[in-house]
Amino acid sequence: MAALTGLMIMVSIGTFEWASLRTFNKMPKSDILVMVLVTFVTVVLHNLALAVIIGVIIAALVFAWDNAVRIRARKYTDSEGVKYYQMYGPLFFGSAEAFRDKFDVESDPEKVVISFAESRVVDMSAIEALNKITERYHKAGKTIYLTHLSADCLRLLNNAERIIQVNIIEDPTYKVVADLD
């Protein structure tokens, strides 16, 4: 056992890229955190498998947080006075609050359209965020419409129809004309 341990230590010393320590200040802080945490857990608990599982969980949470802050909305009003919100980024539990903060119910016109051409409704928190926005506009006497929803987003909203009432503008289904000859 001692010989195998020594061999493993020598292999890890030989294969480790020591020059990578100089690039720590150029790496994302979250990556450094995960690397240091996995190393610490491995050294303290002597359990590499547990350390890797903890590292994967922390990395997934960091990924969710990064995606939560990436939801964006481009806003414009057309010539007929309809305000459009074009969403970018996934709408899920991590981005639901940032999504709700994008809207200005009081100063928006009577008709508002939210486009999901570059976004997706991912989970129940997203549905709840849409429900809250819809209720806020409804209380203000305004109408909100959802458009450019993908098939899986439509399925998710249809499955949740008992808890959310939304106006969906059906997008035309485009088909390619096949050569019949």
| 69 CA to centre of own chain | 8
**Quick one: pLDDT band at residue 80, thresholds 50, 70, 90?**
very high
Q: What is the pLDDT of residue 31?
A: 86
**Quick one: pLDDT band at residue 155, thresholds 50, 70, 90?**
confident
Average pLDDT over residues 126-140: 91
Q: If 0-12 CB within 10 Å is exposed, 13-18 middle and 19+ buried, where does residue 175 land?
A: exposed
Higher local confidence (pLDDT), 7 or 68 = 7
Q: Model-level pTM?
A: 0.65
For every residue of 21-36, DSSP letters joined together read GGGGGGS-HHHHHHHH
Q: At what angle do helices 124-139 and 151-159 cross, to 10 degrees?
A: 70
Nearest alpha carbon to residue 108 among 67, 140, 151: 140
Q: What is the pLDDT of residue 161?
A: 78
For every residue of 73-102, DSSP letters joined together read EEEEE-TTS-EEEEEEEEESTTTHHHHHTT
Residue 24 has pLDDT above 90, yes or no: no
Q: With contact defined as beta carbons under 8 Å apart, do 82 and 114 qualify?
A: no
Residue 109 has pLDDT above 80, yes or no: yes
Average pLDDT over residues 77-95: 90
Tens-place pLDDT, residues 25-64 = 888 888 888 988 988 998 899 888 899 999 999 999 888 7
Topology annotation, domain 72-168: Transcription Regulator spoIIAA (3.30.750)
